[in-house]
Structure 1
Amino acid sequence: MTRIEAVVYDIGNVLIEWQPERFYDMAIGEDRRRAMFEAVDLHAMNDLVDKGQPWRETVYAMADKTPEFRAEIRMWHDNWIEMASPAIPWSVGLLRRLRRKGIPVFALSNFGVESFAYAETQYEFLSEFDRRYISGHMEMIKPSNRIYEMVEEDSGLDPDTLLFTDDRAENIKAAHARGWNTHLFEGPEGWAHALVKHGLLTKVEAGL
């Protein structure tokens, strides 16, 4: 087995829960949320932010195009931190244990420039990565092949020395195709087992 030189984390639903639908169900009710998501592709709107477009302007422009849901769409910006919460403590603990052992930990996340800057003020662990690859700054999103290539070029590490976890199968598939070691994140316990399997943490260190 090739030695892992760096562990690469996605952020949303790996370190921080990202559940816009859950927020809207609580804020406006499931029926109206369903109607809004059928009328407006809010995730496509968010992709534009993740590609580097201005956060507030992009969300508010979409709201203005859809007056029936103007107030609710603006919540995507105004109430964003309520969608991007809470943190996933076990995952954060694993990140910190890796770093304490001297194992480099990178972030590779689809995230807007401004929304990530805001998230940093709410989650201190976002400043603890050795390297951060944020899509808004890179102006492209996973699963673009180029975004993985850019990580390899910037870090100087070979694909087979990287271990990557993400909650989206298409992102994992793209990384795996480049030769990265991958783990589809379905919960922190499975991720803990993966880190043990790769010899990065002991069971005790992983909380198992």
Structure 2
Amino acid sequence: MFFIKDYVDVFPDAVVTLENGKTYTVERLICMYEKMNDAEFESKHKRDEDGKFARTSGSSPSGEKGKKSLKHKPINGIIKRVEGFKNKPMGTYDLKTGKPKSYSSGYSVTFHQNEPDKDGKFKSIFGRYTPDEYDKLANELASEYDTEIDVGVFGNPEVSFHLESLKDAAKIAIKNNQHSIYCCKTGDLVYFSGYDKKQNPIEGI
């Protein structure tokens, strides 16, 4: 889980669960990884007036708001397009061409949340969005981070976004109540203990 190191300046107090089931704050995980004691860690990471760790100059999104996206061109009818991937083999695909894609670095993340029923169980894939809402969310996120819209087929298909920055991927995941994000280099998942499965249930779980 070495890549957690990139994450500390944005979410030092966030809690993550590793694949072995153990849960740590990001701050503590860094201490353990670097084999530092608390005093050594404090000396290397300055806190602000509220006691939080200050951001570094590199913690802003990789795609600045208001900056024209070089990669992404707006796409319409995204839900209908994604539904066309339902019987595809497990993997990541280009939304526009349908061709398989793979990445050797960076992280895959989504904003997509499934619709729950009144008991917090899975009800539908796209029921909480109108087609126009889904188009707007997907296109805005792709433009903001200057990336393309992919489709991840790991169970039900959903939009996916590839980002090089773990900090940016984590922001999207936490904001949108995601179960995890995927490290393309190692194949590891980073789980978020704040994930509320009743608000974003996964089918079959």
TM-score by length of 1: 0.25
Greater fraction of residues in helix: 1
TM-score by length of 2: 0.25
